[in-house]
Structure 1
Amino acid sequence: MIEISNLTKKFASHLSLDDVSIAFNKNDHVAIMGPNGAGKTTLIRSIMGYYHPTSGEVLIEGLNPIKNRIEILEKISFVPQLPPPIKLNLEELIKYIEISAKVEKELILHYANEIKLDIKNNLHKSFFKLSGGMKQKMLIAISLAKKSDILIYDEPTANLDPEARDDFFRLLKQNEKEKISLFVTHRLDEVKDIVNRQIYMDLGKVISDKKIKEFL
């Protein structure tokens, strides 16, 4: 489903990805680990077509994520480590997502409720002014409501309290079937119950790639 072949990405003289070849298929739920600067985020953003490769290529279901960016982004739900500075209030944001990404409003509200985000009392509050935890919950609710084939989370629990983390992982377990999910994380113990594959990166290379469990 995702095929990465000899992918190299340089930023000026800095080599961020160094000839990376790797594939992700349906029902791969992957912890992508490594120190800061290992190339994890560059890999993720290359998959989404944010970066042009220096050499090599990325294909998603045979499509180039740069040439076919709109079609590819329709297949992906992404929650970044740092929430974007969205100035819309929650009501406006939900309406925008509903129209632009064809996501059902009721599904967003359902997942927000499941992760205990009080949308009703914050409907007219700017997303930008929400707490870090509330922003993260909102983005997670949207990502799950989108029903994408590919879920990508970059340190998704960084701003979540323990109860919200439990809710997040419970909801992911309910939505894993026939999908690819990629988790950029520093803590395998946090995602061990929902991943079946662990990749370790360093200096722009994949150092190890191993199955860690098989789901029934």
Structure 2
Amino acid sequence: MIKIDNLTKRFGSHISLDNVSIQFDKNDHIAIMGPNGAGKTTLIRSIMGYYHPNSGEVLINGLNPIKNRTKVLDSISFVPQLPPPIKLSLNELMKYIQASSNVDIAEIIHYANEMKLDINANLNKSFFKLSGGMKQKMLIAISLAKKSEIIIYDEPTANLDPKARDDFYRLLEENEKEKISLFVTHRLDEVKDIVNRQIYMDLGKVISDERVGN
């Protein structure tokens, strides 16, 4: 469970989150929408403990994500909009993920295959040198292999072709039971079949929060 109470975050004089209170529970699958600068990314980064709030509180399963960062991040899978500049080869990256997060390498390879990413052909290639689409497929495979309680995707299909997008959403549908999933997206048409809640943000506030679908 994610519980956010009266959360305010400022950067200088700019208010990025303005007294936001919201809760996400198991089996909530949420599209978070809004224009650039609405506070969507700040909200996600606050959930993950990247930002110290100016006031208010974030709790992940009762834990503060800043004070209990390692434990909280153990329960979260995150795929950013821009892949990080990782210099490790795919082989080294999978071994690192296995050691740091106890993720089964066979599971990463399974989901990579499902995303039509041939890991074996690229095993010794640097992640940094892969195409944007291949990087995204690899990060998605890792996120699914981790079997986290909370999965967060920030514009996850930005670098994917239509077939890869279909594969991604099919895999999500197969893996979303008993989880919280958050999608920061401008493509509501893509996620409408897998979300059951739509949140619209603007100027650091939650403008609307609607249950949809089943």
TM beyond 0.5: yes
- Number of the residue aligned with 1:162: 162
Query: In 2, Cα distance between the equivalents of 1:139 and 1:61?
Result: 24
Offset, 1:187:
1.4
Gaps of 5+ in 2: none
Equivalent AA in structure 2 for residue 146 of structure 1:
K
Offset, 1:41:
0.2
- Number of the residue aligned with 1:55: 55
Q: For residues 128-151 of structure 1, give each alpha carbon's deviation from its aligned partner in whole angstroms, at most 9, with x where no partner exists.
A: 000000000000000000000000
Where 2:38 maps in the other structure, the secondary structure is: coil
- Number of the residue aligned with 1:19: 19
Q: For residues 62-87 of structure 1, give each alpha carbon's deviation from its aligned partner in whole angstroms, at most 9, with x where no partner exists.
A: 10000000000000000000000000
Query: In 2, Cα distance between the equivalents of 1:83 and 1:77?
Result: 14
Q: Does the alignment pair 1:174 with 2:174? A: yes
Equivalent AA in structure 2 for residue 208 of structure 1:
S
Offset, 1:207:
0.2
Offset, 1:118:
1.0
Equivalent AA in structure 2 for residue 127 of structure 1:
F
Q: State the 4+ residue runs in structure 1 displaced beyond 2 angstroms.
A: none
Q: Does the alignment pair 1:127 with 2:101? A: no
- Number of the residue aligned with 1:107: 107
Q: For residues 88-114 of structure 1, give each alpha carbon's deviation from its aligned partner in whole angstroms, at most 9, with x where no partner exists.
A: 010000000010010000000000000
Equivalent AA in structure 1 for residue 125 of structure 2:
K
Give the 5 Å matches for 1:56-71.
56-71=56-71
Equivalent AA in structure 1 for residue 213 of structure 2:
K
Query: In 2, Cα distance between the equivalents of 1:198 and 1:67?
Result: 30
Equivalent AA in structure 1 for residue 177 of structure 2:
K
Where 2:189 maps in the other structure, the secondary structure is: helix
Q: Does the alignment pair 1:139 with 2:168? A: no
Query: In 1, Cα distance between the equivalents of 2:61 and 2:159?
Result: 33
Query: In 2, Cα distance between the equivalents of 1:154 and 1:180?
Result: 14
Where 2:153 maps in the other structure, the secondary structure is: strand
Query: In 1, Cα distance between the equivalents of 2:162 and 2:189?
Result: 14
Query: In 1, Cα distance between the equivalents of 2:73 and 2:29?
Result: 19
Where 1:93 maps in the other structure, the secondary structure is: helix
- Number of the residue aligned with 1:81: 81
Identity of aligned residues (%): 80
Query: In 2, Cα distance between the equivalents of 1:25 and 1:146?
Result: 19
Offset, 1:57:
0.4
